[in-house]
Amino acid sequence: MLLSPINIAFKNCKNEKRPALLTYTVASDPSKNKSLKILKSISEYVDILEVGFGHSTPIADGGQIQTSSYRAIKNGFKMKDAFQIVKNYKKLKNTKPIILMGYYNMIYQYGEDKFINKCKKVGVNGLIVVDLPWPENKKFSKKCKKKSITFVQLLSPTTSKDRLKKIVKDSHEMIYYISMLSTTGGKLKVSPKKILKNYNKIKKIDPKKNYVIGFGITDKTISKLKTADGLVVGSAICKEITKSLNKRQNPVTNVSNMVKRLKNKII
Amino acid sequence: MKIKKKIALIDQHDKNGFWGGKFGGSFIPETLKKPVHDLAKSFAKLRKNKNFIKKRDYYFKNYIGSPTPFIKLENLSSHLGGAQIWAKVVSEANGGAHKIYNATVHALLCKSMGKKYIVGDTGAGYAGKMLSMAAKKFGLKCKIFMGVKDIKRQKPNCIAIRKNGAEIVPVYTGSQTLVDAVSECMRYWVSNCDTTHMCVGSTVGPNIFVKVCGWSTSQISRELKVQIKKEFGKIPKKIKLINCVGGGSSAYGFWSEFVDFPKTQIEFIGVEAGGPKNSKLHAAPLSKNAKLGVLHGSASYVCQNKDGQINETDSISAGLDYPGVSPIHCFLKDTKRAKYTYATDESALAAYKMVTKFEKLNPSLEPSHAFAEAIKIAPKLSKDTIIIVNSCGDAKKDKDILKKRLGKY
Ligand SMILES: Cc1ncc(COP(=O)(O)O)c(C=O)c1O
């Protein structure tokens, strides 16, 4: 069986004995053009790029990502812009896998099938839908699989044992473990040790799959979690964009430097 | 799509939580799966538990003050001519609105589940005020999420919330109204669901919250049925039950006992917020034919743009100023059991003015929307038609707005 680009990304990292670095940025934040520039400039340090399509009523996002989403929407962000950004990014020579992430209503309004087809067409490799949990996502996840798009299941510290097993079984090659009870960007209120303990238990259910940890990871905590298959940094990057704008500095350069620093901490 | 007889509407969803196969459900982040499941399990058990029912009935009677009055508005009726206009004065309930039913039940649920903290959203401030009252009564620590615009326009209720010892968390995002308060409250719950119980202030949100709320407010129509029989000797031939609809909890509670009656005998009319007369903005997803979408964990008709971003809404009434609506009302609309219309800010104000001129009644801006419809249709109807309006809130909270718009309160 041919390995998916997401699988290959994890494999490469394993060969280098380090976790995959995943970033999360919001499409059209701070503008359509700049968000594409950010993707291009961080591409060489990152293993998988998560790109959010911002929603006006995000029920699981903390302040930083909300700010980015609202900024994008205020700047006129439309779903089609997210696809265009991905399409243009994928014109680069060496591209990384892209995972689109967002809330179900945007997909529902686009039309599930049309959405997946469009993803396929522009080169999206995976999808995360925050408010479409298992088992409600079974049908959608199968549709993704059919088009070789990875549907990323989420697991949380509240997920029961029985549920964990069933979700892992139904999942594709990548699974997202939410580090703690929190919206995105919360302060890490659980010790990395404890997070990894939970993580390793889950990993044992099916060690062949790739598990990433996200929520609350910053350049201060990332190195303590580096035994995981992959680590996602989102809010810290969104915050950097906000900070850059406030200081009238170039967010592209600042984010790029930050991602470089993050990468250095896990190699 | 069909309504089943002899089954409460709150229980007419499929195994995935959808009414009519497409309204409702539970679109929630993974973290909330467990607390939502726990709540659903507790509620299913407790609603069949005789002691719990006894406790509920005890507090409904002795704390909330059931039954609330059912009165004829003689002066208004004779002024308008046509149908008889009656009111179910739910605003006489402890705290001044129907929100006390849901709040009391949630506080009882919270306690039986062993949680010490309770959080809730509010728009008009009544849901928040009642939750803070119930929290105080049952010894729970309480936080209320409220949009900054609403904090400013519903001051009296904010004072009451704080007096009860609850904290108001101001919400600055978006339009700074109810929709943002609900989002923020849900986000807070995601982070604190291990110790904290969440109350959703209306029949909206993930499936279980629609059910708990509907189960609570249905007290209104249970009382009304008895009162109608007592007043008329039997259920009259032509009744119209008119209720404002924000999330739809008061309307659900006002109608639930009567769903099985033919609509030719008991008609349901829901009145949404039409917003300012010359504005494009409104909060009337049902009557202005908004598209199906997902908001706050459930599928319903939602004011939104083509992309699925939730639209800003506008209404003089903070309690109706919400872009979504209960999945059960979507179900009632599509099965044609209920009819939905809207009233503008201006007609709600005019209705308030007229009702208070003729009657010793002081309906808040939310039920004033329902009165606007009653006033509009009554003159065209026959004397044997009984219009009953749910006067579900007291206008004290609106005194600043009323003073500004009408020059007096
Ligand atoms: C007095 C009053 N009526 C009506 C509403 C609207 O909510 P619902 O449609 O759930 O009754 C509110 C909400 O705050 C309210 O305070």
* Distance (Å) from CA B397 to ligand 1 centroid: 13
In this prediction, residue B338 carries a pLDDT of 98
User: Which amino acid, one-letter code, is at B332?
Assistant: L
Q: Could you list the residue range(s) of the whole structural domain that residue B39 is in? A: 16-60+98-214
Q: Which two tokens stand for residue A231?
A: 């680590």
Burial tier of B269 (Cβ tally within 10 Å: 0-12, 13-18, 19+): buried
pLDDT of A1 above 80: no
- Which residues of chain B make contact with A133, given a CB cutoff of 8 A? 26-30, 33
Protein residues with CB under 6 Å of any ligand 1 atom: B 97, 99, 123-124, 126-127, 202, 244-251, 319-320, 364, 366, 392-393
User: Residue A187: pLDDT band by 50, 70, 90 thresholds?
Assistant: confident
- A5-266, which class in CATH? alpha beta
| pTM confidence score | 0.97
* Domain co-membership, B87 together with B168: no
* Domain co-membership, B390 together with B272: yes
* Domain co-membership, B276 together with B302: yes
Residue B349 lies in a domain: yes
Residue B11 lies in a domain: no
Burial tier of A139 (Cβ tally within 10 Å: 0-12, 13-18, 19+): exposed
Query: Any idea what the Cα angle at residue A136 is, between residues A131 and A141, rounded to 5°?
Result: 90
Q: How much is the mean pLDDT over chain B?
A: 97
**Considering B166, B197, B214, which residue would you say is the last residue of a domain?**
B214
**Widest CA span in chain A:** 50
Count Cβ neighbours within 10 Å for each residue of B307-335 and write b for 16 or more, e otherwise: bbbbbbbbbbbbbbbbbbbbbbbbbbbbe
In this prediction, residue B312 carries a pLDDT of 95
CATH code assigned at B107: 3.40.50.1100
* Domain co-membership, B49 together with B91: no
pLDDT of A178 above 80: yes
**Considering B193, B214, B235, which residue would you say is the last residue of a domain?**
B214
* Domain co-membership, B294 together with B399: yes
In this prediction, residue A186 carries a pLDDT of 81
**Inter-chain touch B193–A181, beta carbons under 8 Å:** yes
CB interface of A with B, residues 93-132, below 8 Å: 103-110, 130-132
Domain limits, chain A: 5-266
* Domain co-membership, B171 together with B301: no
Query: Any idea what the Cα angle at residue A50 is, between residues A45 and A54, rounded to 5°?
Result: 135
- Which residues of chain A make contact with B180, given a CB cutoff of 8 A? 57
* Domain co-membership, B229 together with B347: yes
- Which residues of chain A make contact with B294, given a CB cutoff of 8 A? 103-105, 108, 131
Residues B147-196 pLDDT 10s: 999 999 999 999 999 999 999 999 999 899 999 999 999 999 999 999 99
Q: Is the Cβ of A214 closer than 8 Å to some Cβ of chain B?
A: no
Residue B6 lies in a domain: no
- In percent, the amount of chain B with pLDDT more than 90 equals 99
- In percent, the amount of chain A with pLDDT more than 90 equals 97
Residue B5 lies in a domain: no
Name the domain count of chain B: 2
pLDDT of B146 above 90: yes
pLDDT of B29 above 70: yes
Residues A106-123 pLDDT 10s: 999 999 999 999 999 999
**Inter-chain touch A59–B187, beta carbons under 8 Å:** yes
* Domain co-membership, B362 together with B265: yes
* Domain co-membership, B115 together with B156: yes
Q: How much is the mean pLDDT over chain A?
A: 97
Count Cβ neighbours within 10 Å for each residue of A107-132 and write b for 16 or more, e otherwise: bbbbeeeebbebbeebbbbbbbbbbb
**Between chain A and chain B, how many beta carbons pairs sit less than 8 Å apart?**
113
Other C-beta atoms closer than 10 Å to the C-beta of B233 total 8
* Distance (Å) from CA B178 to ligand 1 centroid: 11
**Is the CB of residue A167 less than 8 Å from the CB of residue A153?**
yes
* Domain co-membership, B131 together with B74: no
Could you identify the residue written with the tokens 């039940």? B105
In this prediction, residue A2 carries a pLDDT of 75
- For range A190-194, the mean pLDDT: 96
Measure in Å the smallest separation between the Cα of B267 and chain A Cα atoms.
33
Of residues A50, A81, A229, A240, which has the active-site annotation? A50
Residue B9 lies in a domain: no
* Domain co-membership, B76 together with B37: no
Residues B316-356 pLDDT 10s: 999 999 999 999 999 999 999 999 999 999 999 999 999 99
* Domain co-membership, B375 together with B360: yes
- Comparing CA positions, the residue from A149, A246, A158, A238 lying closest to residue A202 is A158
Count Cβ neighbours within 10 Å for each residue of B146-170 and write b for 16 or more, e otherwise: bbbbbbebbebbbebbeebebebeb
Q: Which two tokens stand for residue A10?
A: 């994890």
